[in-house]
Chain A
Amino acid sequence: MKFLAKLAFAAAALAAGSASAQTYPNKPITMIVPFAAGGPTDVIARIVGENMSRTLGQQIVIENVAGAGGTTGTTRASTSANDGYTVMMGHMGTHGAAPALYPNLKYDPTKDFEPIGLAAGTPILIVAKKNFPAADLKAFVEYVKANGDKVNQAHAGVGSVSHSTGILLTSQIGTKTTQVPYTGTGPALNDLISGQVDILTDQIVNVAEQIRAGTIRAYAIATPARSPALPDIPTTKEAGLPGYEVSAWNAMFAAKGTSKDIVAKLNEALVKALDDETTKKRLLDLGAVLPSGEERTSAWLGTFVAKEVERWNPVLKASK
């Protein structure tokens, strides 16, 4: 019965025609997630979206449009109607690294979107095989610098978070390692555990368990503060590589030209979701880091995206 009522309501809403900001939202909102269901971005989108649905009084429907490192779904979102009924969850790759990696990219992260707000990021960790010959991060940096392409660095495919962050690491150390590509973090981690490859940088959700089990070794976490999920791991700043601060951030965007009022409404709902105790706890349990203060505004996200594109461009292009 509930379903029928919803259906009837949705039909009526559809018939009522396009929305103005006052009545927005009066039908379900589609949130495009440019990755397959179950990945970190998808999980964050679902957790945040669930709470936002309650605030907005309309269901947020997640649509997974995976492909080409997230750029397929992002392209679709950039060309969708700018009425606020299609939004997307972009991330570090789609709105930061993509322009440097994909020469034929059909969108511009800085120009084709209205930023809504930062959702949650997952910290990056520097890890190595168990018997990697370095006692701490300083020794790690020295070893990698001295041995250069003798070091085998795994990553989860071109365009993946581990790929971009890995290249950022070696470029800051000032060397080039041998890149060993895998399809996804699982197989890469497998070979790190068995010692086939030497080092890897990846999101906390993917590596925390193996670090706790002692099958791989963690050198530092690339956030300003330590993570409650792995309190023994020092930050890069503490361990002596202060420039290497990076996280796989996720943020909501709408198509260019979406009205300011609608963007404000969505931002408000997003911020409310991040403050909600249950939602917050679910995100923190994942090891995620939540934005605070001015980081939560749409304007901040706009400048942040521009900075990210600028940051990744030279690093990734130099690696090609």
Chain B
Amino acid sequence: MEALVANLSLGFSTALSLNNIGLCFIGCLVGTLIGVLPGVGPIATIAMLLPITFGIDPTGALIMLAGIYYGAQYGGSTTAILVNIPGEATSVVTVLDGHAMAKQGRAGVALGISAIGSFFAGCVATLVIAALGLPLTRLAQLFGPAEYFALMVMGLVFAMVLARGSLLKAFAMIVLGLVLSTIGTDLETGEERLTFGIQDLSDGLDFAVLAMGVFGFAEIIRNLENPEARDVVRGTIGRLLPNWSDLKQSAAPILRGTALGSILGILPGNGAVLGPFASYSVEKKLAKDPSRFGRGAIEGVAGPEAANNAGAQTAFIPLLTLGIPPNAVMALMVGAMTIHGIIPGPQVMTKNPQLFWGMIASMWVGNLMLLVINLPLVGLWVRLLKVPYRLLFPAILLFCCIGIYSINNSVEQVAFTAFFGLFGYALIKFGFEPAPMLLGFVLGKLMEEKLRQALILSRGSFATFVDRPISLGLLVVSVVLIVIALLPAISKSRDEVFTE
């Protein structure tokens, strides 16, 4: 407990430096700015904004990125409530009652309760991360290559099982991600693989190139398809602060949502996405009058938003302690950390305690900032939602190109990004989710490394994966998961969860 307080105070002294508060503020602001754009979710937002952090010291950069992340999350909810377009899977639920509230002239209250719920969830999740960080990091130090490999197998199985749409398609995307990750120089021999003699590929595909292409560029192309009619709420936003009865109605859902979201967020393989869905169904079941749901029930906004934010934050736990990203957004954070010379993993906490605890403290600061800056700025977001695409999209594209070029001063990288933009668009058209691919890509490099290390250390014996109890346990869980997901009864209800 004492250590926790000491660590948190170190974190706050870092996060509350003028410089870092400023970065957190800018991060939250631009994160929301981009995140508010219809169809642009947190992944695309972070991918697009990654380059603006290049010139900053690692701690500041990560604090800013975390700010961007929360801003994007919150921006997504804003769009969901005001325009009826969910920015990403986790705000699908918010659309249901949030937009209904907006139509009743209670958009302000919906935004307000979503901010308050998110803030509360954020505070709790920050404490959860701080409390679990240390023990989990200790555990991680017992992990050798074999255990890491097994853990990542389990993570990918989770990602497959929890992806939207067909299992087979998710599996295909993960494998594609793994294949893309093998491009580049072989770890052991130094030979080039799958580079076709292109020098820019000799160190593998750049993570930012893939992410910005498949998410940033592709999203823009996809948005161009739709006519520019946006169902922006025309009436008044109304007052922002919920009244006493609103708060009383929302308190319990926020508490339950926070608990659900925190727990699900720690799961490997995008468990965070389940939080809002779970919270929504729980609230609907518990409600005295379930028919109010879908027609502007405030519980249907408060609970899922709290769950969403709690999960968004506890998803940092596996990343910060084990160095393994549980979902595509966290995979982006790995890319960002690596660009800043920090290899995520158990060492971060001991080697850069300031960075580690500073980032955790900045999560709380970021949540507070969202509450403080976003509510007064709602009017601005509404106006932004009305900017015509013909101005907005070229500006975003140009910004992305400059960002990509600046990574390694290379024109080829910009061309690759354009290619992956088209590729990503094709994926969307054929109904493939690109997120599992990105996760596969990021985990692929690590997995190959760990697999080969484990085999070198065991002098080529695959038995090492089953001889070691932790590794065996993780692999068994993976197999059980696949079997369960393939059971007819389960796979049917799985479809329902994601189509609701």
Contact = CB atoms under 8 A, between A and B. Distances in A.
Given A38-B340, A182-B453, A68 B202 contact: yes
Given A181-B187, A197-B457, A64 B343 contact: no
A157 B445 CA distance: 13
Interface of B is mostly: loop
A186 B349 CA distance: 13
A72 B202 contact: yes
B228 interface: no
B463 interface: no
B341 A190 contact: no
Interface in B126-180: 141-145
Contacts of B187: 157-158, 181, 183
A191 B343 CA distance: 13
Interface in B432-454: 445, 449, 452-453
A75 B457 CA distance: 36
B449 A190 contact: no
Contact of B409 (A64, A193, A197): A64
Contact of A66 (B190, B203, B343, B351): B203
A133 interface: no
B452 A186 contact: no
B347 interface: yes
Contacts of A179: 188, 456
Contact of B408 (A39, A66, A159, A184): A66
Contact of B343 (A180, A184, A196, A197): A184
A186 B202 contact: no
Given A68-B199, A68-B203, A186 B145 contact: no
A183 B187 CA distance: 7
B54 to A, nearest CB: 8
Interface string A3-16: 00000000000000
Contacts of B186: 158
Nearest to A71: B202
B351 A209 contact: yes
B147 to A, nearest CB: 10
B199 A152 contact: no
Contacts of A66: 203, 408
A64 B449 CA distance: 26
A102 B452 CA distance: 22
A128 to B, nearest CB: 16
B199 A191 contact: no
Given A36-B341, A68-B199, A158-B190, A191 B409 contact: no
A191 B145 contact: yes
Nearest to B191: A158
B156 to A, nearest CB: 19
B345 interface: yes
A187 interface: yes
Contacts of A209: 351
A209 B449 CA distance: 25
B453 A186 contact: no
B145 A65 contact: no
A64 B453 contact: no
Interface in B447-475: 449, 452-453, 456-457, 459
B189 interface: yes
B409 A65 contact: yes
A65 B351 contact: no
Contacts of A189: 347
Contacts of A180: 453, 456-457
B202 A181 contact: no
A39 B339 CA distance: 11
A209 B410 CA distance: 35
B341 A39 contact: yes
A308 interface: no
Closest 7 A/B residue pairs (Cβ): A158-B190, A38-B341, A186-B343, A68-B202, A196-B144, A181-B187, A67-B203
